[in-house]
Amino acid sequence: MKKFIGIVGTNSDHSTNRQLLQFMKNHFSSKAEIEIVEIKDIPVFNKPENKDIPEIVQAMADKIDDADGVIISTPEYDHAVTASLMNALSWLSYGIFPFVDKPVMITGASYGTLGSSRAQLHLRQILDAPELKARIMPSSEFLLSHSLQAFDEENNLTNVEQTEKLDRLFEDFLTFVTITNQLTHAHEQNKKEAENFSWETI
C-alpha cells in the first residue's frame, strides 16, 4: 500500500482544504495511507546563515522523504497560495531537499466558484523551482468550489460527480507515483543540482 503525506496548505484552524484531505484519507483508506501534516506551527522563514532547520520542518522533511508521494491541498488568496504555504516550502528547500523528484498531487478548495485554480497554477510554478524540483502530476486539477457547502455532517463530499472525478484523479496519481518512482536514474544529479543552486551566483 502506498504511503502519502497530505499537506494542509493553510494555517487556518477552520479550513475546507483540511476537510478535503481528511475526506481523502478516509475515502481512499483501502488504497493508500495518507498522513495529514499541518504547517501552521512552522516559524517564519528567516534564511539562517548556519542553515539550522527548525525541528518541526526537519520532521516534515523526513516524512516527505519516507513517503511515496505528497498531496497538497491549497486555498487561494489574492490569486496565489497562502503565505504560510510559501513559508513552509521556503524552509523545505533551504539546505534540505525532500521534494526533489517526489510525486505531487495538487488539490484545492475555495468558498467561491473557481476552486483555487490560480493558486494551483501558482503552486505548480513554485514546485518546479530549482531548489524544489518536484514531479507534479500533469493535466490534473481537482477544484472544489463552494467548499463550505461541499461536505455533509460526516465529512463526505455531497456532489457525486465531484467524488467520481476525485476517484479517477486519485487512481491516476497512484499510477503516476508508480511510474515516477521508477525514474531514478537522474535523481542523485537532480538533488546535487538543487543543493548547489544559488540565485546569488546566477
In a domain, 196, yes or no: no
Residue 159 belongs to a domain: yes
| Rg of the Cα atoms in the chain | 16
Number of domains in the chain: 1
Q: How far apart are CA 136 and CA 157, in angstroms?
A: 24
- Which set of grid coordinates corresponds to residue 154? 460526516
pLDDT of residue 92: 97
What is the three-class DSSP state of 157?
strand
User: How far, in Å, CA of 188 to CA of 139, rounded?
Assistant: 27
- CA–CA separation, 158 and 66 (whole Å): 33
Arithmetic mean of pLDDT, 15-44: 97
CA distances from 80 to 9, 120, 158, 160, 194 (A): 11, 8, 27, 28, 24
pLDDT tens digits for range 179-201: 998 988 889 899 888 888 887 76
Place of cell 455531497: 158
* pLDDT for residue 202 is more than 70: no
Tens digits of per-residue pLDDT, 44-61?
Answer: 999 998 889 999 999 999
Q: Is 67 within the bounds of a domain?
A: yes
Domain assignment present for residue 78? The answer is yes
pTM over 0.85: yes
**Does some domain include residue 73?**
yes
Q: So what's the pLDDT on residue 168?
A: 97
Which residues constitute the domain of residue 55?
Answer: 2-164+179-188
Query: How far apart are alpha carbons 20 and 24 in whole angstroms?
Result: 6
Answer yes or no: is 198 within a domain. Answer: no
Q: Higher-confidence residue: 5 or 194? A: 5
Answer whether 198's CB lies under 8 Å from 129's CB.
no
Least confident of 27-31, 59-63, 140-144: 140-144
Q: Alpha-carbon distance 91 to 44, whole Å?
A: 9
The closest of 5, 12, 102, 84 to 45, measured between CA atoms, is: 84
Cα end-to-end distance, the chain, whole Å: 42
Taking a C-beta distance cutoff of 8 angstroms, is the pair 143, 115 a contact? Answer: yes
Residue 200 forms part of a structural domain: no
CATH code for the domain in which residue 110 is found:
3.40.50.360
In a domain, 173, yes or no: no
Q: Among 27-31, 34-38, 66-70, 140-144, which is the least confidently predicted range?
A: 140-144
Find out whether 191 and 184 touch, Cβ atoms under 8 Å. Answer: no
Share of the chain above pLDDT 90, in %: 76
77-118 confidence digits (pLDDT tens): 888 899 999 999 999 999 999 999 999 999 999 887 777 889
What is the per-residue pLDDT across 152-188, written as a single tens digit (0 to 9) for each?
999 999 999 999 999 999 999 999 999 998 988 889 8
Q: Are 57 and 84 in contact (CB under 8 A)?
A: no
